[in-house]
Amino acid sequence: MKILAAMSGGVDSSVATARAVEAGHDVTGVYLALHANLAATDVPTGPLRGCGNPQDRRDAERVAQQLGVDFHVWDYAEEFSRIVIQEFLDRYAAGQTPNPCVFCNEHVKFAVLQNYALEHGFDAVATGHYAQLLPHVGAGSEPVELHRAAYRSKDQSYVLSAIGNEMLSHALFPLGGIPSKDAVREEAARRGLPVSAKAESFDICFIPDGDTLGFLRARLGAQPGEIRDEEGRVLGEHTGAIGYTIGQRKGLGLTVPAADGRPRYVLDVNVKSNVITVGPKEALALRHIEGEQPVWLAEEIDASAGVEAVVQVRAHGREVPATVRIDGDGVRAEQRMIVDLHEEVRGLPRGQSVVVYLGSRVIGQSVVARTWR
């Protein structure tokens, strides 16, 4: 096959590219320059953090040269800023706590990259994600199924859950069956790749200094407002609603102790009234989730009838048994995913993803719009 390999400059994408070459594919490497339009003040002066720093591009090119594959750098900074960063800001401005990796995978790393690849004669896009694509067996037209990675601790099926069957059918995840990160590094060293000992990327890639709150305040502003309890009593003042998330305990700055002396947690963030509501940990418990813009990957399963499955509501969270259904006909934007949890979950912010699994298979995803007890 003719493969376009997304090379980030890290050890995972480097080994994934090497495996694609070894499998006999005609491979071309590409590095997506996503942050060329960041202001100079956004560039960290200390240790490099996150993906997409200047060293990554050089490392990706070195690996491509060693593997003997053509290598290109594509400037996608404008698209990334318009699609991912703006969505991140819009959701925070609406009182949500989004996961930008889910949105980036759906709308940039796969949608934009795959569209180009297919238009230029490539068969698939290979990435270093930890997930498995297995042949679909049975009814339904989807050719492949998205499953958890063999290495569960690094499983990334959660952040890949929104990309849809069409894009999955043109994807390749060479690391899906690998048993551990150590195995990836050992393979990179065995192949002589110069990134075998490279540190992991972390944090949000477009916030290179790791200061998410500072990033938000610089772009959205910060208006002080009231912190109230569940009865509406004013307990203190916050420094801007966008800086808080449901379930947060630290950084509330309250000087008035609770009557029972127990810690308080953020229960609600209302950006319209600029009010933060706090209360006891027990008040964070929820049993029902309503999600917007659902993606349903299991075409052979009628989601409107209700499906017994498990859901995951955080990138590396536990599985929770649930009954899941999709309400509404027609376009995705008008549908809703209703999740009735069989166990309590606490402190789930709006804007996060709820991902539905049958065994190791991802069958659906939605963005949390509302929760209730």
Residue carrying the six token digits 């990706």: 60
Tokens, residue 48: 């490099």
Q: Considering only CA atoms, which of 337, 333, 330 is closest in space to residue 304?
A: 337
In order of 23, 215, 271, 349, the CA distances from 229 in angstroms are: 60, 28, 16, 18
Strands 70-75 and 131-135: unpaired
Residue 205 annotated as catalytic: yes
- For the chain, the distance separating the N- and C-terminal CA atoms, rounded to the nearest angstrom, is 50
Neighbouring C-alpha atoms within 13 Å toward the C-beta of 225:
18
Length of the chain: 373
Catalytic one of 32, 83, 171, 205: 205
Look up residue 243 and give its amino acid. G
Beta bridge partners of 265: 279
Neighbouring C-alpha atoms within 13 Å toward the C-beta of 70:
8
Residue 104 annotated as catalytic: yes
Interatomic CA distance for residues 229 and 65, integer angstroms: 60
Interatomic CA distance for residues 271 and 265, integer angstroms: 17
Catalytic one of 3, 64, 101, 104: 104
Q: 75: how many CB neighbours lie within 10 A of its CB?
A: 12
In order of 144, 169, 323, the CA distances from 140 in angstroms are: 10, 14, 21
Which residues are catalytically annotated?
104, 205
